[in-house]
Amino acid sequence: MSVSSNSYGFGHRGFTLIEVLIAVLVLAIGLLGIGAVFPVVVRQQRQAQDTIQGITSRQGAEAYLLARVNKNGNALLKDVAIFVDNDTNAKPEEWHVPVPDPKSGVLTINGQPLPLSDRLTPPAFSEGVDPQFVWDFAARRTGPNQLELAVFVRRIDTGITLSQPRQRAYTLSHALAGTDVGASYARVPVGEDNSGRPTLNGTPQYSSLRVLDVEPLDQGVRLRFAKNTPAGLLAALRQPGQKLIDNTGEVYTVAKADDIDRSGVVLEQPVPPDVILRIERDGFQLSVLATPQIPAAAAVLKVSQ
């Protein structure tokens, strides 16, 4: 008896070209999905880290503002109060913003300079670490002996590049706060272009706080900025997570850009009903304090003189 066998009956069929292409396509889609998710995760982790560090920096800024004494022996708060009371351009209850030098970021309060180096966290020239955050503030009077201070903390631009002169080794501290650094090597902590859009590279000018009139819509769920708001600034203000502080002391977080109005935003929490009532009944003009960059922290500090 002879027994024959078909070796092909026990073999394995190879993949067809179509099956291989489908497998490659599925793998590519999976990798694209991972590639799309990964930057989001990294961004969320950075934002969470910034929030924690921003709170610490904000607390340091508040302590500084309360304790600072200038070279003439006067408390900084006294200089701030004089600055607020002498600013006749601002409307009642509106925030008064010390305007920084566009090239250095130095603030001047009642004729007294507030160095940029004092507003950096960690401090400039700290051993082994560069500054990561910078704070700014605005003030408004809420009563005869009452002030409110709004403090904004922003991460220093992450795209700053350091030019190195011959026989020198500049660090970020030198570029931001060095006293003998040439103009071509100096940078500001937070830069913006002429349209108000953040540049993220420390040039060409310091990005200052803004006071902007707004109109609440839909019972305060939405805010509309003025139509003459520069396009770059408006785009920055419409970013999710952006912080706004109004001229009643309320702090808002932007949930998203308004899909209905290209000049507006949707808030995570609406404008309070009593503020809406003041607008409708008394013609109160609502305005907000804002920065082009999304702050790591933004808060209001009440001060008694």
Q: What is the pLDDT along the chain (305 residues), one digit of tens a residue?
A: 444 444 434 444 566 777 767 777 777 777 666 665 555 555 566 667 787 888 999 999 999 999 987 666 779 999 999 999 998 877 778 999 998 999 999 999 988 889 899 999 999 999 989 999 999 999 999 988 899 999 999 999 999 998 777 767 789 999 999 888 888 889 999 999 999 999 999 999 999 999 999 999 999 999 999 999 999 999 999 999 999 999 999 999 999 999 999 999 999 999 999 999 999 999 999 999 999 999 999 999 999 87
Asked if the structure places residue 197 within a domain, the reply is yes
Looking at the DSSP bridge assignments, the partners of residue 257 are 265
As to burial, measured by CB atoms within 10 angstroms (0-12 exposed, 13-18 middle, 19+ buried), residue 124 is buried
Residues 238-274 as b or e (16 or more Cβ within 10 Å = b): beeebbbbbbbebebebbebbeeeebbbbbeebbeee
CA distance 140 to 123: 27
Give the DSSP letter of residue 41.
H
Residue 207, domain member (yes or no)? yes
Q: What helix, strand, coil percent values describe the chain, rounded to 5?
A: 30, 25, 45
Residue 137 pairs in a beta bridge with 151
138 occurs within a structural domain? yes
Transcribe 262-298 into DSSP letters. Answer: TTEEEESSPPPHHHHHHHHHH----EEEE-SSPPSEE
Partner residues linked to 244 by β-bridges? 252
pLDDT at 304: 87
Give how far the C-alpha of residue 230 lies from the chain's centroid of Cα atoms, to the nearest Å: 17
- Residue 154 and residue 120: Cα distance in Å, rounded? 10
Answer yes or no: is 28 within a domain. no
Joined together, the tokens standing for residue 262 give 């290209």
Examine residue 282 and state whether it is found in any structural domain, yes or no. Answer: yes
Q: Which of 217, 248, 242, 233 is nearest to 94 (CA)?
A: 248
CA–CA gap between residue 57 and residue 154 (Å, rounded): 9
Number of domains in the chain: 1
Tokens 């109160």: give the residue. Answer: 284
Cis, peptide link before residue 204, omega less than 30° from 0:
yes
The answer to whether position 31 is within a domain reads no
The answer to whether 227 touches 280, Cβ cutoff 8 Å, is: no
Domain membership flag for residue 23: no
- pLDDT at residue 1 in the model: 42
**Domain contains 36:** no
Q: What is the pLDDT of residue 170?
A: 85
In whole angstroms, what separates CA 283 from the centre of its chain?
30
Q: The domain containing residue 124 runs over which residues?
A: 44-304
The tokens for 267 are: 């808030």
Q: Report how far residue 266's alpha carbon sits from residue 216's, in angstroms, rounded to the nearest whole number.
A: 10
